[in-house]
Amino acid sequence: MEAEYWHQKWAARDIGFHEGVVNSSLANHIDQLGVPAAARIFVPLCGKTRDIAWLLSRGYRVVGVELSPVAVSELFTELFTEIGLAHTVESVGDLRSYSAHNLVVWQGDFFALTNALLGDVDAVYDRAALVALAPPLRDQYTAHLKTLAESAPQLLVTYEYDQSAFAGPPFSISEAEVNRHYACDYQVKLMARETIDGGFRGRVAADIATWLLEPRVQ
């Protein structure tokens, strides 16, 4: 989707994609990543997800990237209110870095983020990035993500439903598409598939799938 689309969503408070609780796929499958508690987890297109506070509470270090300055500002306001997490802000080229104890969030265009800025990551958690992107951007996103994360394993959450019945985002991502993006570089394992009670937003029958991507040995 175009950047302006997401800026308008946040400005209008049209953020039904924001989950107010910890994502169950993360809570149920984080251990499958096989990384230690102090690992550095990359959360692309993170919004102001509650998952960040949960990861921090478990002892993980977190680095995110998010387009919307509104989302990032609200994230850090909530973290300060809830756990007293203070932060600093620094402009770095076209991005802004929000830094706190065990947490860095880059505000700006995902594609402007470089390896040098991101630093090393031990794992990737993608609940809201791939599914947020229209088809033309998904190839670019997955290619850049693999460049940034290098050999890090990934926990990926997708939806699958009749795309003709709901325009998205979030978009429907089939198993075939997950494999098309990742199977050459990762062993792709389906960890869970659940039918969403009442359908997707009450409009269309849908499943939610949780994937573990483990880098192939070169």
pLDDT of 13 reads 57
pLDDT of 119 reads 98
- Of 112, 146, 33, 49, give the one whose Cα is nearest residue 41: 33
Residue 14 tokens, joined: 């049209």
193 annotated as ligand-binding: no
- 3-class DSSP state for residue 38? coil
pLDDT of 199 reads 85
Residue 61 tokens, joined: 């270090």
Q: How far apart are CA 152 and CA 165, in angstroms?
A: 35
Q: Which CATH number fits domain 3-215: 3.20.20.140, 3.40.50.360, 3.40.50.150, 3.50.50.60?
A: 3.40.50.150
pLDDT of 167 reads 86
10 annotated as ligand-binding: yes
pLDDT of 38 reads 95
45 annotated as ligand-binding: yes
Could you please report the per-residue DSSP string of 136-174?
HHHHHHHHHHHHHHTT--EEEEEEEE-GGG---SSPB--
This prediction's pTM: 0.94
pLDDT of 203 reads 85
Q: Are 18 and 48 in contact (CB under 8 A)?
A: yes
pLDDT of 18 reads 47
66 annotated as ligand-binding: yes
Kindly give the confidence (pLDDT) of every residue in the chain, 218 residues in length, as a single tens digit, with 9 standing for 90 and above: 577 776 676 666 555 554 678 999 999 999 999 999 899 999 999 999 999 999 999 999 999 999 999 999 999 999 999 999 999 999 999 999 999 999 999 999 999 999 999 999 999 999 999 999 999 899 999 999 999 999 899 999 999 999 999 988 999 999 999 999 999 999 999 999 999 998 887 889 999 999 999 999 86
pLDDT of 218 reads 67
State whether the Cα torsion 179-143-97-12 is positive or negative: negative
